[in-house]
Structure 1
Amino acid sequence: MLLPDLSSVSDLQPLADDMRKLRYALHCCPELAFEEVQTAEIVASRLKEYGYSVETGIAGTGVVGTLRLGSGERRIGIRADMDALPIDELNTFSHKSLRPGRMHACGHDGHTAMLLGAARHLAQRQCFDGTVHLIFQPAEERGYDSGAKRMVEQGLFTRFPCDAVFAMHNHPGAPAGTFMFRKGNFMAAGDRVFVKIVGKGGHAARPHLANDPIVAAGSIVMALQTVVSRNVDPAQSAVVTIGKIAGGSAPNVIPGEVELSLSVRSFDSNVRRMLKERITRLVHAQADSYGLHAIVDYVEGYPMVTNSDAETELAIAVAKELVGADRVTEQMAPLMGSEDFAYMLQERPGAFLRIGNGPTDGGNTLHSATYDFNDENLVVGSAFWARLVERYLPIQ
């Protein structure tokens, strides 16, 4: 039997206009974490139209489309995230957000459109042998109790068994249509720390009658700068960032309390534990030294994204076949950002990869109010997913 060629970029080109219109529709109507009702309805409707078996309501608004062909026993899962961010969009193009305070500032509209394009092509071509589970996930941006975590906890891989799982994210700063991979630890674990320094408020002219939490907060901010530089092996990677300080309401009033919010990133489980212990002890010690009380809420967030070797090597081979070796980075530098696909990779082997989104000129960076997914990626990203499925589930 003469087997058909694997899917190529040119095979997906006829779907380009439809994918672009779909992305624009999604971009216009962004929805925040666990509120992706309209997006989920669009995804489910499309999948049913293409002939997939569809399950909805997983982790609230999650959708899984399943297509089985032939007698093959292997099963592959591919995830796309659907949620937007609480940002007022500053773009002026025709498909800008119609919902104030919400926008697709991370390209999840593109991720969803790419996977739906691949879904349509796979159903039309029917050139694989096995089972495909397409996972449309809510709440990747949540930072804690995320969509991936909830889907896994609600039995995602029991209901939809997968031998391997894959996901893709756009990457501003790299040329559009290029692919980036990394075997092993790829993206950092991300934790959040919420600190409240409780003192005694009073009049700005009578500081001796108060106990100023702002002074203590300043000392804590400076002390936290030593956590990485003096506690983490220089050969390791970690970041401690104080992203928010809030306290006081007037220049002539000493407030009774001050709040700090921290982001903590790490690549090693031992380093992660040490950071938690050191930050907690340091905050309490600094507050105590000023006669103040500290309340520390240390929220452990996403784990590290760790790609398995075999699945990453397969994905690299597919990308090279698709766009050429010169447009593929096999082992890019680790990224300090975090990604909740890590929860799925804790349960199943797989790979998380990046696709270049073009230059970052004009504020075209992730989580920017002027960000937009690059439409050049729609066809090549969909072709990658289709070819990966055909390589993972080959017709014998």
Structure 2
Amino acid sequence: MPDLSAQARALQPRTVALRRAIHRRPEVGLDLPHTRDLVLDALADLPLQVHLGVGVGSVVAVLEGGRPGPTVLLRGDMDALPMHEDTGLPFASEVDGAMHACGHDTHVAMLASAARLLSGRRAELAGRVLFMFQPGEEGFHGARHMIDEGLLDPTGPAGRPEWAYALHISATIPAGELHLRPGPLMASADTVRITVRGRGGHASAPHDAADPVPAAAAMIGALQTAISREVSAHDPAVLTIAHLTAGTTTNVIPETAFMEGTIRTLSAPVREQVREIVRRVCRYTALAHGCAAEVEVVSGYPVTVNDPDAADRFTALGREVLGCHRVATMPTPILGAEDFSYVLEQVPGALAFLGGCPAGLDPSTAPANHSNRVVFDESALADGVAVYAGLALDALR
């Protein structure tokens, strides 16, 4: 382990070049042909078995160690967000309406350089490393699609992994720090869509109509009250109605109102409880206003749960590679969501956040992930490469 950081720093020019090439040409969703080709070029001269996705633009690469043993999976997601970039970076996005605002370009670059570092030390590996370059993390369930194509099967590209790890860069954590926790790390994320149906009419005569607008407004307040009254304060749950639309002009009561939002929870029982609350509250609030409500709950990502043993190994490895002062245990989960949760449902593993706050900025006020102005400190990439490689070396000693 002691020379991992030095080896990662030696690869830094290659890591940064790949990151910037990906950043300039961001791609959204499950089909990422340009990004995939950049990954394939970066891996082309390495002793890897490469497999391409069938229904999605994924890349899976397998490194066989010098001795038999288990498989460890390392994940890097590849997709961007559908948003405009306003960073002013010399390598800013050249694609209108697409930006690597969540740092997935750094994940790909770090994982590719970790594959290069480990290829040079394959004799030390008792087993194999499965490099998972994944599309469609930003709401497209890319990890689930890869699992459906056999990623984790015993007969898959590298057999069933024994451990699975991932890094996620964060612009609001000091550069080079590693933050994680055992147990729930990130929330489940469901979408709720509610259509309130009333009876349209003239705005001057609401008594002759069944106005869906006050019914929808009442639902929003009733939902917040129900969450605070029915869900235990010890079980975090967030319900946010973020979009509400109704009507076309000032003197017409519309027939329908529509609203949608997100549900975030940290356990499966509370997730189902909140879904039931939404259906019940909307139905009976609508009835109280002489309207009807159609409620659709669209399942999103599950809770991201770090296996306690894997999190402990991740923490110990981070301290060994980066130093004890640069590894912190998170006191609480965050309510963002991650589709690496699909992998962690089936394989013991852990995800950790790698700090990437630029020098001179306060992490508490720096533009955060998903901001149109987010910038990541590229010096942290060498730390990520070293940690990725260290996780594999540790698991396959």
Structure 1 length-normalised TM: 0.94
Aligned amino acid, residue 146 of structure 2: M
Give the match for residue 157 of structure 1. 152
**Residue 381 of structure 2 aligns with which residue?**
378
Q: 1:105 to 1:194 in 2, by over 3 A?
A: same
Residues 177 and 377, structure 1, Cα contact 8 Å, conserved in 2? yes
State the partner residue of 1:328. 327
Deviations 1:43-94 (A, max 9, x none): 1232222221110125511110111021221110000111111111112121
> Does the 8 A contact of 1:7 with 1:387 survive in 2?
no
Alignment of 1:1-396 (within 5 A): 7-126=3-122, 127-142=124-139, 146-158=141-153, 159=156, 160-161=158-159, 162-358=161-357, 359-360=362-363, 364-394=367-397
Q: Distance in 1 between matches of 2:200 and 2:363?
A: 45
Q: For residues 314 and 137 of structure 1, what CA distance do their matches in structure 2 show?
A: 24
Deviation, structure 1 residue 153: 1.9
Partner Cα separation in structure 2 for residue 247 and residue 216 of structure 1: 11
Could you list the runs of 4 or more consecutive aligned residues of structure 1 that deviate by over 6 angstroms after TM superposition?
none
Question: Structure 2 stretches of 5 or more lacking a match?
Answer: none
Query: Contact between 1:363 and 1:370, CA under 8 Å: does it hold in 2?
Result: no
Q: As a proportion of its length, which structure holds more helix?
A: 1
For 2:136, give the aligned amino acid. A
Deviation at 1:193, TM superposition (A): 0.4
Which residue identity does 2:312 align to in structure 1?
Answer: E
- Structure 1: tracts of 5 or more residues without a match: none
Given that 1:44 and 1:56 are in contact with CA atoms closer than 8 Å, whether structure 2 keeps it comes out as no
Match of 2:389, as an amino acid? A
Asked if the contact 1:6/1:390 (under 8 Å) is kept, the reply is no
SS in 1 for 2:73: strand
What per-residue deviation string (whole Å, max 9, x for no partner) do you get for residues 278-330 of structure 1? 11110011111111121111112111111112211111111001111111113
Under a length normalisation based on structure 2, what TM-score does the superposition of the two structures give?
A: 0.94
CA distance in structure 1 between the partners assigned to 2:177 and 2:223 by the alignment: 38
Change (3 A) 1:93 1:362: farther
Does the aligned pair in 1 maintain the 2:195–2:294 contact within 8 Å? yes
Q: Percent identity?
A: 34
Deviation by residue 1:17-56 (Cα, 9 ceiling, x = unmatched) = 1211111111111111113121112112322222211101
Contact 1:7-1:383 at 8 Å conserved across structures: no
User: Which amino acid in structure 2 is aligned with residue 243 of structure 1?
Assistant: A
Distance 1:361 1:89, change over 3 A: farther
Shift of 1:361: 6.8
